[in-house]
Amino acid sequence: MALALLVSSSCLPAFSCQRKVFRVRAVASEDFAAVKPEEANKVKLGGSELRVTRLGIGAWSWGDTSYWNDFDWDDRKMKAAKAAFDVSIDLGITFFDTAEVYGSRLALGAESSETLLGRFIKERKEMDPNVEVAVATKFAALPWRLGRGSVVKALKDSLCRLGISSVDLYQLHWPGLWGNEGYLDGLGDAFEQGLVQAVGVSNYSEKRLRDAYEKLKKRGIPLASNQVNYSLIYRAPEQNGVKAACDELGVTLIAYSPIAQGALTGKYTPENPPTGPRGRIYTPEYLIKLQPLINRIGEIGEEYGKSNTQVVLNWLISQDNVLPIPGAKTPQQAEEFAGVLGWQLTDDEINELRSLASEAGQPIGFPVERL
Ligand SMILES: NC(=O)c1ccc[n+]([C@@H]2O[C@H](COP(=O)([O-])OP(=O)(O)OC[C@H]3O[C@@H](n4cnc5c(N)ncnc54)[C@H](OP(=O)(O)O)[C@@H]3O)[C@@H](O)[C@H]2O)c1
């Protein structure tokens, strides 16, 4: 994720772009119990008014050439990403997570994930004007970004790339080295100006989370979410107080890398480890340690007629107050995510998987979590 520090500037100057801006229909203000069956799968994000699907789709890999896609983005991959978007909508998953740094133009051959998501939304809305899409994006706390004004400015650039007039959830991507008070002020400004429906943070420790919650509360703004690395094999949020604080404060924990970047799906083995930067985390040695867990996940999945991927995402959803956002590169992957909902592992299975995962040990995480 080193290249996460590069920002796309495809849409400057702020908010003066020529693209047609679409109003993505707000998903917060309706009587959901009465509307459609899939509304039952929606949850309120923290104390905000925003309701989103029980599982979202991560769009980091879309357009990216720094971590994903074997450093190469092409038309075939773009079509697969678009199909992943469309299948998600078709199957009732309407919450998408992107960031201004995903697919930064400064990375060779990359295309901005926000621009791609915006294009997919636009094309879908041309066919189905009433389609509901909830968009989450993120502010990059880069060291040279100072003061509250930098947040609204960055947000307007994101809106421009996305081609929409407001986002559903705006998150501070990671804590800055400095300037965090100003970023929280800016987040509040974005909310008060009606540019976002809900605000969240990401990679925030328990202390930072509590401080952010209190600061926003003074302005009457609920902190909706904290997006952190959380999966069956990366359970730092259970150990460092973040999950407990989220539960106590009523802040939704959005789980990123929820299938451990593919390592929990059973697709990668010691003989067939992932390529690229992922291969440095999920090494053959680590994948050997994972095998007993992967085998048991497979056995449990067979009992339910579910895949490994569906079992590990269901494990997360079974924890109260957790909303996973697995990344989908293809329509097949998106289709599999839709099968995560509508059933539930038993408490015994949840506990058994947690203890087997402990035996395998934890892979390395994203260093900004410790800022
Ligand atoms: N806030 C943050 O700092 C932060 C950090 C990381 C991620 N995120 C967010 O969280 C989202 C998800 O995290 P992530 O992309 O790191 O990891 P992830 O969701 O755990 O893994 C996604 C990858 O797993 C593979 N995969 C997906 N579905 C599969 C299936 N059904 N079977 C087998 N393999 C499958 C795909 O890669 P292959 O097909 O190449 O194996 C896919 O790109 C991101 O897109 C982003 O929105 C946020």
Measured from the Cα of 336, ligand 1's closest atom is 31
Q: Is the CB of 267 under 6 A from ligand 1?
A: yes
Where on the phi/psi map is residue 369: left (φ > 0), alpha (ψ -120 to 50), or beta? alpha
User: Which residue owns the Cα nearest ligand 1 atom 26?
Assistant: 262
Q: Is the CB of 203 under 6 A from ligand 1?
A: yes
Q: Is the CB of 363 under 6 A from ligand 1?
A: no
Distance CA(185)–CA(181), nearest Å, equals 6
Q: Apex CA 34: angle with CA 171 and CA 316, to 5°?
A: 45
Measured from the Cα of 59, ligand 1's closest atom is 45
| Neighbouring residues of 30: CB distance < 8 A, sequence distance ≥ 6 | none
Tally of CB atoms within 10 A around 366? 17
Measured from the Cα of 333, ligand 1's closest atom is 31
Domains and CATH numbers, the chain: 41-261+308-344 (3.20.20.100)
pLDDT tens digit sequence for 245-302: 999 999 999 999 999 999 999 999 999 999 999 999 999 999 999 999 999 999 999 9
Is residue 304 part of the annotated active site? The answer reads: no
Higher pLDDT, 21 or 127: 127
**Per-residue exposure over 31-59, b if at least 16 CB sit within 10 Å of its own CB, e if not:** ebeeeeebbebbbbbbbbebbbbbbbbbb
pLDDT tens digit sequence for 302-338: 999 999 999 999 999 999 899 999 999 999 999 999 9
Using the mean position of ligand 1's atoms as its centre, give its distance from the Cα of residue 262 in Å: 7
SS3 assignment, position 172: strand
| Single-letter amino acid, residue 102 | Y
Mean pLDDT of the chain: 90
Measured from the Cα of 60, ligand 1's closest atom is 45
User: Which residue owns the Cα nearest ligand 1 atom 13?
Assistant: 257
Using the mean position of ligand 1's atoms as its centre, give its distance from the Cα of residue 62 in Å: 10
User: Which residue owns the Cα nearest ligand 1 atom 10?
Assistant: 256
Q: Is the CB of 259 under 6 A from ligand 1?
A: yes
pLDDT tens digit sequence for 68-113: 999 999 999 999 999 999 999 999 999 999 999 999 877 889 999 9
User: Which residue owns the Cα nearest ligand 1 atom 31?
Assistant: 333
Q: Is the CB of 227 under 6 A from ligand 1?
A: yes
Q: Averaged over 173-181, what is the pLDDT?
A: 94
Comparing CA positions, the residue from 301, 306, 200, 302 lying closest to residue 256 is 200
Using the mean position of ligand 1's atoms as its centre, give its distance from the Cα of residue 335 in Å: 14
Q: Is the CB of 202 under 6 A from ligand 1?
A: yes
Spot the catalytic one: 102, 183, 213, 282: 102
